[in-house]
């Protein structure tokens, strides 16, 4: 289906339906842009009055056009759009770009109109950009299509840009020259009734003219499909995204730790990260990064050399490089010797290489040429401050000459000079990205390195473990029978156990003698936890007692628990008490699942216990997890240093913790109706280093669970019901 976009993005003929002679109308501006940008195909204006528009014969109906038409750009009133699509079908047109507004963005009636529009598009085998969009652009010399109504003509480049906002896309087209960037193709997706960001990703995957992809998104329609496509495409070329709408509204309504920490934006962030998409949080950063990718190859490593004519900025650049976790390159002895042969004795040939303030253009050229040749160097920052009458633009030209001769390594210029310098650059064909500050350069190199690491990263696998699904289904059916969405503590631990997740040795007791027998069997010290069908947070009512050292203490604590519950009126819901082995360990982690309405189940991992919602040292990924996802989750939290074995503690079994996350991922993938799940804490044993589930709680979505398990209130065939 993606190949069908050729009719939209590479048309040989365009009908502008709604073309107009009236100035400052969309129908008029579209015709002017197509003419001014010198579209290489044929243009056919369509207007009920006929006549001449922009010097071209206008046709009263699209079916009157004698020649074949690839693309129809539609700018008629919304009430005429459906009949216009019928006429386009009659004419054999397969590509539509519907500029017209007045669809789902206006409310219920508009949404119904858009539904009918899409129905026709699918029925007729068409592809459609819009409705309610700015248009489409292809700057390739053999096409030259400016099929949108932005004020400025597009600048030529190798970026594919998708914008969900037409106005924003138009604004960007207007400032491309100032940004020193150019587009290969531009698609304003508008209401994305048919063509959306995923369609563009698939279309541009093997489009050589599109060397990087930029996305402005307010929503992701199909997160699963986006993940599949973006993961594949980002291995071939960079994808940069500005995802708007970062509100966490609604998170506070969740009852679990995982749910309360999982805002709407965390799901989007997890999805983009897992897909290899580089996320930016401002238009400025989006285009600064795009400028870097437009002018720099992907580096072979993360070793950075800094060339400067001033010590201070060189040190600041070094700090910025180090803060991103990249490495300062160790300049080889041969390179140092060559640098000493032409630099003054006061210069420093260590990294950062300080040529001192008197450095002439020749020193800039020779130093850059020498450093590029050093095999220990992967990327270079070249800093210029104005001294001794040296002209910034002359230095920039000299650096670009060297870069043209040695395009194999990224070079970024930092020119702390007047704004006039950057204005001059906008009129030049540059091959180096230039910035005002060293921090911007370091950020750009970090993005290059991020793309390198992603392209080198293994795709990962989603393992499948042997589990006891029958046991899990029996447990959930029992809860459904009781009308409970929340599983008891015992049920939750039993589910984890059925999926091979290491939990404390445990048993359920419903009277004092059973309590004592279990304690003696497991071995002291033990932990006693209430499990109730009505009380979820046990610690709030004194329902957890730890470090019970002998039988006498166990009897005493059991009686005291019953007394507390009776006093609070909570005894009726008590299912019993769980007697668990007491695992010794000071390192408490948390892992869990929360469901985002759009993105589906999200996995969480991080620092747990009582600190989970205070420190918020957690990370999220969308399920299902690959083994690479699970490993990155564990290593990305600050608490990872604790897991490695800080201050002489036994290192955690990272592979076993990774398997725990993967088994949880399989659980939620098998039972998509699980709404929330917490293992808090996942205690790291001081003796074995295992991550052991000390406590668990699971909540399901009742209606979905009933449907998935073939269970209903009136079900007579289900034993649990």
Rounded distance between C-alpha atoms, residue 105 and residue 91, angstroms = 29
- The answer to whether residues 316 and 323 touch, using CB atoms and an 8 Å cutoff, is no
Rounded distance between C-alpha atoms, residue 486 and residue 339, angstroms = 70
pLDDT of residue 260 exceeding 80, the answer is no
pLDDT of residue 679 exceeding 50, the answer is yes
The predicted model gives 639-667 an average pLDDT of 93
Report the pLDDT value the prediction gives residue 135, as an integer from 0 to 100. Answer: 97
Q: Which CATH superfamily is domain 587-708 in?
A: ATP-grasp fold, B domain (3.30.470.20)
The predicted model gives 389-418 an average pLDDT of 96
CB neighbour burial string for 404-425, b if at least 16 within 10 angstroms, e if fewer: eeeeebbbbbbbbbeeebbeeb
State whether CATH 1.10.3720.10 applies to domain 297-456. Answer: no
- Name the phi and psi angles at 109, rounded to 5: -65, -40
**Per-residue tokens: 676:** 């929330």
- The answer to whether residues 591 and 605 touch, using CB atoms and an 8 Å cutoff, is yes
Strand residues in 336-423 grouped as ranges (E): 353-354, 379-384, 411-415
- Tell which wins on pLDDT, 247 or 74: 74
The class level of CATH for 469-581 reads alpha beta
Report the pLDDT value the prediction gives residue 159, as an integer from 0 to 100. Answer: 98
**Per-residue tokens: 695:** 């406590």
What lies within 8 Å, CB to CB, of 76 at 6+ separation is: 17, 18, 84, 100
Cβ-in-10-Å burial (0-12, 13-18, 19+) of 670 comes to: middle
CA atoms within 13 A on the CB side of 670: 21
% of the chain at pLDDT higher than 70: 94
Give pLDDT tens digits for 44-82.
999 999 999 999 999 999 999 999 999 999 999 999 999
- The answer to whether residues 213 and 238 touch, using CB atoms and an 8 Å cutoff, is yes
What residue spans of 541-677 are helical by DSSP H? 551-567, 612-615, 627-636, 640-644, 654-670
The predicted model gives 382-409 an average pLDDT of 94
* 3-state secondary structure (DSSP) of residue 44: strand
State whether CATH 1.10.3720.10 applies to domain 2-210. Answer: no
Closest of 589, 590, 531 to residue 565, by C-alpha? 531
Report the pLDDT value the prediction gives residue 163, as an integer from 0 to 100. Answer: 95
- The answer to whether residues 383 and 263 touch, using CB atoms and an 8 Å cutoff, is no
Report the pLDDT value the prediction gives residue 246, as an integer from 0 to 100. Answer: 64
Q: C-alpha distances in angstroms, 427 versus 181, 399, 423, 424, 642?
A: 11, 17, 7, 6, 53
- Tell which wins on pLDDT, 120 or 258: 120
**Per-residue tokens: 69:** 């038409």
Give pLDDT tens digits for 165-204.
888 999 999 899 899 999 999 999 999 999 999 999 999 9
% of the chain at pLDDT higher than 90: 81
Rounded distance between C-alpha atoms, residue 244 and residue 221, angstroms = 14
Across all residues in the chain, what is the average pLDDT? 92
**Does the CA dihedral 355-356-358-361 come out positive or negative?**
positive
Report the pLDDT value the prediction gives residue 26, as an integer from 0 to 100. Answer: 96
Same fold, 2-210 and 297-456: yes
The angle formed by the CA atoms of residues 68, 70 and 73, to the nearest 5 degrees, is: 115
Give pLDDT tens digits for 697-711.
999 999 999 999 988
Rounded distance between C-alpha atoms, residue 350 and residue 494, angstroms = 61
Report the pLDDT value the prediction gives residue 254, as an integer from 0 to 100. Answer: 38
pLDDT of residue 586 exceeding 90, the answer is no
* 3-state secondary structure (DSSP) of residue 319: helix
The predicted model gives 465-489 an average pLDDT of 94
Tell me which DSSP letter residue 59 carries.
B
Every domain of the chain and the residues it spans: 2-210, 297-456, 469-581, 587-708
Rounded distance between C-alpha atoms, residue 158 and residue 360, angstroms = 34
Report the pLDDT value the prediction gives residue 247, as an integer from 0 to 100. Answer: 52
């Amino acid at each position: 289906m993606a190949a069908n976009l050729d009719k939209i993005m590479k048309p040989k003929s365009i009908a502008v339906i709604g073309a107009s002679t009236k100035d400052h109308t969309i129908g008029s501006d579209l015709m002017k842009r197509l003419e001014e940008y010198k579209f290489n195909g044929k243009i056919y204006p369509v207007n009920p009055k006929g006549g001449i528009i922009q010097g071209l014969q206008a046709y009263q109906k699209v079916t009157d056009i004698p020649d074949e038409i690839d693309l129809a750009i539609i700018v008629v009133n919304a009430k005429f759009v459906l009949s216009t699509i019928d006429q386009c079908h009659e004419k054999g047109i397969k590509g539509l770009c519907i500029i017209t507004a007045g669809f789902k963005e206006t409310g219920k009636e508009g949404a119904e109109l858009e539904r009918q529009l899409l129905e026709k598009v699918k029925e007729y085998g068409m592809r459609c950009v819009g409705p309610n969009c700015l248009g489409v652009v292809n700057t390739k010399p053999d096409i030259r299509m400016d099929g949108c109504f932005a004020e400025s003509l597009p600048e030529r480049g190798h970026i594919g840009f998708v914008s969900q906002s037409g106005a924003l896309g138009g604004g960007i087209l207007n400032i491309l020259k100032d940004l020193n960037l150019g587009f290969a193709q531009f698609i304003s997706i508008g209401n994305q009734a048919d063509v959306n960001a995923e369609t563009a990703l698939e279309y541009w995957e093997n489009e050589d003219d599109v060397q990087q992809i930029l996305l402005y998104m307010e929503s992701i329609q199909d997160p699963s499909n986006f993940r599949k496509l973006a993961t594949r495409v980002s291995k071939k070329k960079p994808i940069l995204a500005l995802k708007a709408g970062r509100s966490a509204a609604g998170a506070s309504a969740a009852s679990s730790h995982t749910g309360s920490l999982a805002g709407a934006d965390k799901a989007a962030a997890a999805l983009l990260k897992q897909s290899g998409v580089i996320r930016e949080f401002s238009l400025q950063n989006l285009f600064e990064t795009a400028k870097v990718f437009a002018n720099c190859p992907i580096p072979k490593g993360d070793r950075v050399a800094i060339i400067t004519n001033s010590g201070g900025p060189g040190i600041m650049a070094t700090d910025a490089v180090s803060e991103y976790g990249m490495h300062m390159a160790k300049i080889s002895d041969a390179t140092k010797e060559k640098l000493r042969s032409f630099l003054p004795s006061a210069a420093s040939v260590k990294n950062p290489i300080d040529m001192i303030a008197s450095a002439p253009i020749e020193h800039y050229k020779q130093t850059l040429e020498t450093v590029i040749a050093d095999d220990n160097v992967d990327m270079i920052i070249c800093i210029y401050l104005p001294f001794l009458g040296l002209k910034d633009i002359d230095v920039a030209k000299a650096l670009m000459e060297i870069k043209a001769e040695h395009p194999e390594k990224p070079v970024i210029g930092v020119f702390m000079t007047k704004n006039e310098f950057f204005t001059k650059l906008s009129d030049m064909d540059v091959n180096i990205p230039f910035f005002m500050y060293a921090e911007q350069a370091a950020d750009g190199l970090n993005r290059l390195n991020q793309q390198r690491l992603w392209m080198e990263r293994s795709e990962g696998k989603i393992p499948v473990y042997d589990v006891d699904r029958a046991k899990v289904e029996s447990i959930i059916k029992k809860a459904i029978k009781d009308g409970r969405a929340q599983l008891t503590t015992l049920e939750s631990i039993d589910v984890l156990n059925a999926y091979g997740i290491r939990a404390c040795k445990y048993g359920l007791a419903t009277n004092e003698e059973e309590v004592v027998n279990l304690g003696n069997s497991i071995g002291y010290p033990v932990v006693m936890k209430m499990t109730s069908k009505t009380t979820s947070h046990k610690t709030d009512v004194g329902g957890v007692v730890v470090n019970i050292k002998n039988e006498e203490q166990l009897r005493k604590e059991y009686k005291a628990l019953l007394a507390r519950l009776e006093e609070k009126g909570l005894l009726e819901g008590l299912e019993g008490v769980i007697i668990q082995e007491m695992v010794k360990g000071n390192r408490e982690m948390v892992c869990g699942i929360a469901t985002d309405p759009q993105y589906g189940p999200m996995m969480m991992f991080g620092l747990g216990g009582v600190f989970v919602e205070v420190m918020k040292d957690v990370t999220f990924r969308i399920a299902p997890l690959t083994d690479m996802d699970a490993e990155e989750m564990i290593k990305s939290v600050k608490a990872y240093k604790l897991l490695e074995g800080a201050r002489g503690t036994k290192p955690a079994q990272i592979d076993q913790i990774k398997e725990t996350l993967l088994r949880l991922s399989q659980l939620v993938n098998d039972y998509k109706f699980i709404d929330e799940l917490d293992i808090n804490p996942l205690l790291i044993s001081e003796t074995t280093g295992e991550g052991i589930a000390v406590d668990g709680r699971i909540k399901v979505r009742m209606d979905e669970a009933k449907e998935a398990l073939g269970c209903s209130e009136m079900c007579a065939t289900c034993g649990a019901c």
